[in-house]
Amino acid sequence: MKQILKNIVIFIILFILFLYKDLFYLIPLKLLKIDYNSLNYNQETLLSILASCILIIIIVIIYRKYLKEKLIDYKNNFSKYFDLGIKYWFIGICGMAFFNVTISLFSPVHEANNEVLVQEMLEKAPILCFISATFIAAFVEEMLFRKSFGDIFKNKKLMVVASGLFFGLLHVIFSLQTPWDLLYILPYGTLGASFAYTLYKEDNIFIPMTFHMLHNGMLTLFSILIMVIK
């Protein structure tokens, strides 16, 4: 019970830092009397990346023993873990595609508003957004939504479902415009649950982290190529 309470406290702290990580650079800017509104979009994005890096350092310090142990395990069992990861990544992508098509056919909302915002950011700062989405976001989200959040649950099957729903909700709630947007919890949640299942199967965060990075990287790179072609 004490361990569960400890895990809850760690998750709450990390989640608050995740929500308010921009304070890592807004406070110094305020102290230095630099007007945030005077910065261009690339400067804003770079500061956001630096803030996320501070959060990553905090996460690594908290989970350093776990990460070291699981990295060694991941290297020793790479072939096995890669096969598992790619299998459930494919299942997650199929689930996402199914729900995205269904939602677009039967609701007035044809695209997740989160995706619209991502496309707008890519147009303004493609390279920085690629780095942020592919490496930083994937690492932070896996450590937060899978590892830290997952440690709260004794029932790991329940963890898979809860992690997926939480992952989906967090990708929708901050860009919510209409109640219809909540439907996009399903496609995001399906992918999140597929990542969580690999953690449930092998208890190694580097499996979902690898395929989360691949997923974000491929989608972001594809979007950038489409912009270049246009």
Instruction: Encode pLDDT of 214-228 as tens digits.
Output: 999 999 999 888 888
Confidence of residue 101 (pLDDT cuts 50, 70, 90): very high
Does residue 22 lie in a domain region? no
Domain that holds residue 129: 63-229
Q: Is the pLDDT of residue 1 over 90?
A: no
Q: What's the pLDDT score for residue 121?
A: 86
Q: Is the pLDDT of residue 122 over 90?
A: no
Q: What's the pLDDT score for residue 156?
A: 86
Mean pLDDT (whole number) for 78-104: 96
User: Which residues make Cβ contacts (< 8 Å) with residue 150, sequence separation at least 6?
Assistant: 156, 159, 163, 196, 199
Does residue 37 lie in a domain region? no
Q: What's the pLDDT score for residue 228?
A: 80
Does residue 195 lie in a domain region? yes
Confidence of residue 117 (pLDDT cuts 50, 70, 90): confident
Tens of pLDDT, residues 12-64: 999 999 999 999 999 999 998 999 889 998 999 999 999 999 999 999 999 99
Contact predicate 176/132, CB 8 Å: no
pLDDT over 90, % of the chain: 77
Does residue 14 lie in a domain region? no
d(CA 63, CA 147): 10
Q: What pTM was computed for the model? A: 0.93
Confidence of residue 127 (pLDDT cuts 50, 70, 90): very high
Our CA angle for 191, 159, 181, nearest 5°, is: 45
The more confidently predicted of residues 151 and 118 is 151
Q: What's the pLDDT score for residue 229?
A: 83
Q: Is the pLDDT of residue 190 over 90?
A: yes
Does residue 35 lie in a domain region? no
Count of the separate structural domains present in the chain: 1
Does residue 8 lie in a domain region? no
Does residue 203 lie in a domain region? yes
Does residue 31 lie in a domain region? no
Tens of pLDDT, residues 138-186: 999 999 999 999 999 989 899 999 999 999 999 999 888 889 999 999 9
DSSP string, the chain: -HHHHHHHHHHHHHHHHHHTTTHHHHHHHHHTT--GGGS-HHHHHHHHHHHHHHHHHHHHHHTHHHHHHHHHHHHHTHHHHHHHHHHHHHHHHHHHHHHHHHHHHHSS--S-HHHHHHHHHHHH-HHHHHHIIIIIIHHHHIIIIIIIHHTT-SSHHHHHHHHHHHHHHHTTGGG--SGGGGGGHHHHHHHHHHHHHHHHHH--THHHHHHHHHHHHHHHHHHHHHHHH-
